[in-house]
Structure 1
Amino acid sequence: MTAIGDGTGATGLMKRAIPQPEPGLTAETVIQRACDMRDHLRAEQEATEKRTHYSQETHEKFEQAGFYRMLMPKAFGGYEMRINDFMHVIVEIARGCPSTGWCLSLGSSHVLILAGLYSPEVQAEVVGPDGHFVAPNRHAPSVRAVPHEDGWELDGTWEYSSGAPYSTHAMSAVRLPAGEDGVPRVGLALVPRSQYTVLDDWGSTLGMRGSGSHSIRVKNAVVPSDHVVEIESDQFRLDTTIGMTAHGNPMYTGRIMGVLMSELLAIEIGLVHAALDEYTTVLHEKKPMWNPRTTRAEDPRYQEWYGQVTTTLDVAEAVLDRVGDEYHRLCEREVAGGGEFSQADDLRLMSMAGYGCRILTEAMDLLARTGGSSVMGDGSRLERYWRDMSTCRTHGFALMRETTAVQTGSALLAADGAAKAGER
């Protein structure tokens, strides 16, 4: 078997036809580039909200920095970086502008799905000669797919397609005709930009107004048969053979709901870091309402609150790293024949990331409450961050935290019961 992650492909189905723009580019360099963009992103926050997505200038900076290629297979000019490294970049971008972090993350991460679910021939066709691929992914099958002589005909609208403004493709769920047993079926359709319209319907939400989460409309769009892959809607996983056969990397073989949940966690970590940056400035500049009238930074109460938030961030970042490490471990274990990457495993990853989001929500509430109304004025950064977190809390994954915990407990207890029964 080809060495893990060498990018040559286990059976040579993928040839490294597209060169990397920067051979030898390291994760440390990419993360530092994200940090270096913080001032630019903060200066652009208001304009990004009004525009509803980050600027063309920022998009070009992201291209030059290699952000869109972090998870792209090496065969297509990508860098095949670890999930952890990708998430750290998203943390830093979100620290500069949470909306921009959201748009970048949910547009660039889904190459993981492309590389692990579609045939090598479709992959090569989609990435084209330059290896640039940006695709929103909407899990709700709100678009109907019907058989067509040239493949599938699609009609409908995918709402909340974050990353749409700079997308090259849409890769979202469709309703397939029911099987002979009458059970509804779901597919994942890959649609080129020429076949859909990005609607001007984003920017009126409480927060994340610049996240580029526009709707995508397809009307009588026809795509080839192999551009629609049937999936299990409640067990979204990559194919266990395509990723390894094509790219020689177990990263493209796993269940990815935990990874998708950890994107929300990475964005919220960056968001709370950004809020804490503003809060810290306030602590050094303002005085408490009570005596002694020192700076807030010298007051034990504010010191305690500051300490609580920094510790919460440390815990959330540890969770983020653990989810990434576990994802890679589970993928590599399955490829090596050491055990399946099960749905229970994926649910554990989702629950871990969801817990990190929960404690960050509490940290943001603490910053907003103790920062005071004078620093939460209309248009202030702290007010914007509070709005952004409020919108994060309404995301479908955020609402799934409680149900995911139930599913996780059920799956783990069932597995434990089966193991004990086998011992008897």
Structure 2
Amino acid sequence: MSVLAASKQGFPQPPEPGLTPAAAVSRAEAIAATLVDRQQETEDRTYYAVDTHEAFAEAGLYRLLVPRRYGGYAFGVDTFLRVSIALSRGCPSTGWMYTLGAVHALAVTTMFPERAQQEVFAGGDFICPATVMPGGTAERVDDGWIVNGTWGYCSGAPYATHFVGHAMAARDGGEPAPMMFIAPRERWRRLDDWGQQLGLRGSGSHSITMENAHIPDHYTLAGHMSEFSVAGGTPGLRLHGNPEYGGGPLSFMNMESAVLAVGIARGALDAYEELMRTRNTLFPPVVPRTHDPDYQYWYGEASGLIATAEAATHNAVQQWQQACARGPETFTREFEMHIATICRQVVQLCWRAVEQHLLPTAGSSAVRRGQRLERVWRDMSMLHTHAGFTVFLAAKAQRELAKARFDVEEVPR
């Protein structure tokens, strides 16, 4: 639906009705260029600066996935993920924090009922970290649930308007099982517990804690986000008519890891290119690195790996969007795992480019503490510790794809 069509239906106009997807990406690229020299500052603070946050808001970046009905741009996942790549290229921590804060507008629109959407998107800008591990408990009350608990790794928490989490809840007298919920900012507080990790120290991945927080029924969904089936249609698709609000949340979550890896690796290649242009070889004949066959090879090999990873990412996004257009029934378990295995290989290609070609040949002075390549290596290493990658993409997705393909419930023992 175009902005003009949305306005004719009485929907609120976004701040800039004439903004285009290409312009949004260009703005992100311009902001990204200012982030490179602020990476240490961002790590020290543990999240990006207020003026960066304000620049994102002014550029419309917090509304890219918000439905038009609520004053958003609904530009689509391809635009959003291009913005993520651009920002991660400039500063991995900032790109990570932005992406995992703004991306969950898609999941909330897809899964939650109209009443909840009307309320949570009322402010226009939407920043909502989410975690998949049940970090608390929910007790039933007459008008909803009382939630208590602490959830770690809530990337985007510092400027968040909401939080999506999972708690163990007993519904209808049954055994406790995961319940997904969305909590407005006033129902939780952020802990000051981030910044001592190996990498992504500026990603704002603080813990969130809730103490006797009341969550109304329409802000909850039975089950786990990763197991949400769209096969029968979704609230978002029925309400907005946008096929991307009927796509599989699990496959989309995996694409987040892929685009972040591509953006971070692109930043590493930028740093290596600067070294190529400004430094000489160490052994005779001493020549600029740009003229040395070995450095030419290392640069070209890394560049090819990253370009291949980026091409695979864009193709995965295209496949996901095409599946949305065909209808929710396209999102079978096999298709979801198909996208996941592509994303696994994307991360692997990016890691190989950095770990095997760029970092070892850059020189020890280029990987001193605080240098761009040193930080990228730490950040990509940290990505490898993320449960979504190291547990799901690196181990489970391949087996789940084969089981779905061959209709195997459990592997015989």
TM-score category (smaller protein) = over 0.9
How far is 1:86 from its partner? 0.7
Partner Cα separation in structure 2 for residue 341 and residue 369 of structure 1: 41
- Say which is worse superposed, 195-204 or 325-334, in terms of deviation: 325-334
Specify the alignment match of 1:354 in structure 2.
344
1:309, CA displacement in angstroms?
1.1
**Cα distance, 1:340 vs structure 2:** 3.3
Secondary structure in structure 1 of the residue aligned to 2:168: strand
Aligned equivalents of 2:165 and 2:314: distance in 1? 27
What's the offset of the Cα at 1:15?
5.9
Residue of structure 1 in register with 2:42 after alignment: 48
On the 8 A contact 2:129/2:160 being kept in 1, the answer is yes
Distance 2:309 2:140 in 1: 46
Match of 1:286 among 261, 279, 291: 279
Aligned 1:152-167 pairs, distance under 5 A: 152-167=145-160
Aligned-pair distance for 1:229? Answer: 0.8
Query: For residue 166 of structure 2, what is the amino acid of its counterpart?
Result: A
Larger CA deviation: 259-268 vs 229-238: 229-238
Partner of 1:272: 265
User: What secondary structure does 1:323 align onto?
Assistant: helix
Residue among 378, 382, 387 paired with 2:378: 387
CA-CA distance at 1:306 after TM superposition? 0.6
Structure 1 counterpart of 2:143: 150
**Larger RCO of the pair (alpha carbons < 8 Å, separation 6+):** 1
CA distance in 2, matches of 1:26, 1:126: 24
Residue in 2 aligned with 1:231?
223
**C-alpha separation between the residues in 2 aligned to 1:161 and 1:75?**
27
SS in 1 for 2:116: helix
Query: Following TM superposition, by how much is the alpha carbon of 1:17 offset from its aligned partner in structure 2, in angstroms?
Result: 3.4
- Aligned position for 1:134: 127
Write the distance in 2 (CA, Å) between the matches of 1:394 and 1:300. Answer: 35
Query: Is the CA contact (8 Å cut-off) linking 2:132 and 2:224 kept in structure 1?
Result: no
Range that drifts further, 265-274 or 154-163: 265-274
**Counterpart in 2 of 1:422?**
none
What SS class does the counterpart of residue 206 from structure 1 fall into?
Answer: coil
Distance 1:378 1:221 in 2: 42
> Judging changes above 3 Å, is the alpha-carbon distance between structure 1 residues 6 and 245 closer, same or farther for their aligned structure 2 residues?
farther
Any conservation in 2 of the 1:9–1:246 contact (CA below 8 Å)?
Answer: no
Preserved contact between residue 240 and residue 254 of structure 1 (Cα < 8 Å): no
Cα contact 1:208–1:391 (8 A) shared by 2 = yes
User: Secondary structure of 2:85's partner?
Assistant: helix
What letter is aligned with 2:306?
L
Q: Which residue type is aligned with residue 223 of structure 2?
A: I
Q: Separation in 2 of the partners of 1:329 and 1:193? A: 35
Superposition deviation, residue 42 in structure 1: 1.3
> Aligned pair in 2 of structure 1 residues 233, 170: CA closer, same or farther (>3 Å)?
closer
Residue 149 of structure 1, CA deviation: 2.2
Instruction: Report the CA distance shift for 1:213/1:15 in structure 2 as closer, same or farther (over 3 A).
Output: farther
Structure 1 counterpart of 2:59, one-letter code = A
Task: Look up the SS of the partner of 2:406 in the other structure.
Answer: helix
Partner of 1:174: 167
Identity score, percent: 33
Q: Is the 8 A contact 2:180 2:225 kept in 1?
A: no
SS in 2 for 1:322: helix
Please tell me whether the aligned partners of residues 237 and 254 of structure 1 are also in contact (alpha carbons under 8 angstroms): no
Match of 1:397 in 2: 388
TM-score, with normalisation over the residues of structure 1? 0.91
Structure 2 contact 226–249 (Cα < 8 Å) conserved: no
Give SS of 1:331's match.
helix
How far 1:290 sits from its partner (Å)?
A: 3.1
Distance 1:292 1:147 in 2: 75
Q: Aligned residue pairs: how many?
A: 404
Distance of 1:40 and 1:110 partners within structure 2: 25
Do residues 342 (structure 1) and 332 (structure 2) align?
Answer: yes
Shift of residue 6, structure 1, vs aligned partner: 5.0
**Shift of the alpha carbon at 1:317?**
1.0
Distance 2:239 2:211 in 1: 33
> Contact 2:180/2:224 (CA < 8 Å) preserved in 1?
no
Q: Distance in 2 between matches of 1:231 and 1:150?
A: 19
1:27 match: 21
Contact 1:235 1:255 in 2 (8 A): no
The answer to whether the Cα contact below 8 Å between 1:52 and 1:212 also exists between their aligned partners in 2 is yes
Matched, 1:256 2:246: no
Cα 1:16–1:6 change in 2 (3 A) is: same
CA offsets, 1:243-276, max 9 Å, x none?
1221111111121222112112111111111111
Find the residue that maps to 1:414 and give its secondary structure.
coil
2:190 corresponding residue in structure 1: 198
Shift, 1:292, TM fit = 2.2
CA distance in 1, matches of 2:334, 2:102: 26
- Report how far residue 88 of structure 1 moved: 0.7
Pair 320,411 (structure 1): closer, same or farther in 2 beyond 3 Å: same
Residues 218/181 of structure 1: CA separation in 2 closer, same or farther (3 Å cut): closer
Q: Which residue of 2 aligns with 1:215?
A: 207
Select 1:246's aligned residue among 215, 239, 252: 239
Q: Deviations over 1:37-73 (max 9, x none)?
A: 1232112211110110001100000001111111110
Could you tell me whether the CA contact under 8 Å between 1:179 and 1:185 is conserved in 2? no
